[in-house]
Amino acid sequence: MEDRPMMTTFTMQHHQPLTPVSPLLPTTLPHVCEPIPQLPMTPPDADEELDAASNAAALRMGVHVLATEEDGLRSLKELLQNGPVAQEGFMNAVNIISKTIQRSAKIIVTGVGKSGKIGEKLVATLNSFGIHSVFLNPTEALHGDLGIIGQHDVLLLLTYSGRTPELLQLLNHIQHSIPLIAITSHIHPSTCPLFNNRPASNCILLPAPIPVSETVSFGLAAPTTSTTTALALSDALALAVAHRLHCSPADVFHAYHPGGAIGAHVLKAGPQRMANIATMVADIPIAQKQSRRSSHASSLTALDILLAAARSTSGWVRLSSTAIIAPRQIQRLGNDFENLECDVHLLEEGTIVEKQDWISIPATSSVEEARRWIGDMRKVERGRTFLKEGTILGIVDAAGEVSGVVEIEELEWAEEWWGGYG
């Protein structure tokens, strides 16, 4: 028998698949006893995560800040009521700003950081009362903006420390003849670095200290109470000046604020008042002796009046606190070239009108009421006598003072009056 390799034969009893077969999915889901809760689609509201303790802490901090700033304002009020330095500074500031505006000059306000923001707000408030003001960035000033400062302007600085480097550097380039007003924490001019090496007569301090430092009050030196007091004091200054310059500050404010809710309120408020069209007596320059050709060495001449009128923004000129020349009379002087060197007291009768001859009309009277009253009065002989052409109307403010003037011809119906009754 021939030897051959033995071949082993494997007999497969069961045919097994090479890979396991996936089990069949059930055609129905098993019954669930309780529904599965839905997952939230958005994260929970943050307010819901704040516990009562943190809410209470936030409320306490808010009340603490308000109470601290209230204490600061109360302290500032007491200082202005009882402090001689604060009182003198405030009155001097009102006086110098008023005189500056009467000279047709302006108020330059400057400050850095949060104090600068308070300064910008002060400028906006002053301008809304017709008090010409601009904000000067101290850094930009050193790069060309110094040119906005005129020789008759006033510089008002806001700085709590009184030693802000940018302001001290700026002052190195400001003439000593420019008056300075500083709103700062210092309570006496001698301690304020802003006034170092400058004439005391041109330095006015408006103290605005706070009773407790912000670091002690709040744990950080963020300007809060200090800026609140500076803002309040600047508001007080602006309103005091507005009342000094205008017989009706409210009417002036409304005239410069025709837009927004305030403007809409004015439109609903009623007719235009006499205070709106009046020229403030305080704004009228007083004529000074300037012409040198006249033989009248000490007397004012017609030329002096014309030179003063050229500087007057309104065209009015005062000879004294009680004597005034209206724009229409000044125009007549300008047309009489032969008498420019004439003594003012020798001018035609009616050129100069004394205060006792002004016709008083309340500032709150509407223009329509004034027109109607004048028209009715001129229907009789007596009215035509004292309400003649060239009459000056004295506008009486709430304090009973004549603080504004109006030429009778400024009222629209003047031509009809002169034509019908003159």
pLDDT tens per residue, range 231-267: 999 999 999 998 888 767 777 777 776 665 545 555 5
C-alpha distances in angstroms, 380 versus 98, 216, 273, 386, 413? 42, 75, 26, 11, 17
Give the model's pLDDT for residue 45: 57
Q: Tell me the DSSP string of 176-202.
A: TTS-EEEEES-SSGGG-GGGTTS-GGG
pLDDT of residue 413: 47
Q: b/e for 77-87, b at 16 or more Cβ within 10 A?
A: eebbeeeeebe
Question: For position 21, what pLDDT does the model report?
Answer: 53
pLDDT of residue 116: 96
Own/partner pairs, 173-178, CB within 8 angstroms, 24+ separation? 173/141, 173/142, 173/146, 174/149, 175/151, 176/202, 177/151, 177/202, 178/149, 178/151, 178/153, 178/154, 178/202
Residue 85: per-residue pLDDT: 96
Please tell me the predicted confidence (pLDDT) of residue 313.
78
Backbone angles phi, psi at 346, to 5 degrees: -105, 5
* Tokens coding 111: 């400050």
Q: Give the pLDDT confidence score for residue 400 in this predicted structure.
A: 86
Give pLDDT, residue 40: 58
pLDDT along the chain (422 residues), means of 10: 45 48 53 59 58 87 95 96 96 94 91 96 92 94 92 96 96 95 96 95 96 93 95 96 80 68 52 82 84 58 83 84 86 69 77 88 86 83 80 88 87 48 37
Q: Residue holding tokens 């007569």? A: 201
Q: Which residue type, as a one-letter code, is found at position 368?
A: E
The rounded distance, in Å, linking the Cα atoms of 40 and 395 is 73
pLDDT for 50: 62
Dump pLDDT digits (tens) for 102-130: 888 999 999 999 999 999 999 999 998 88
Residue 305: predicted pLDDT: 83
DSSP 379: T
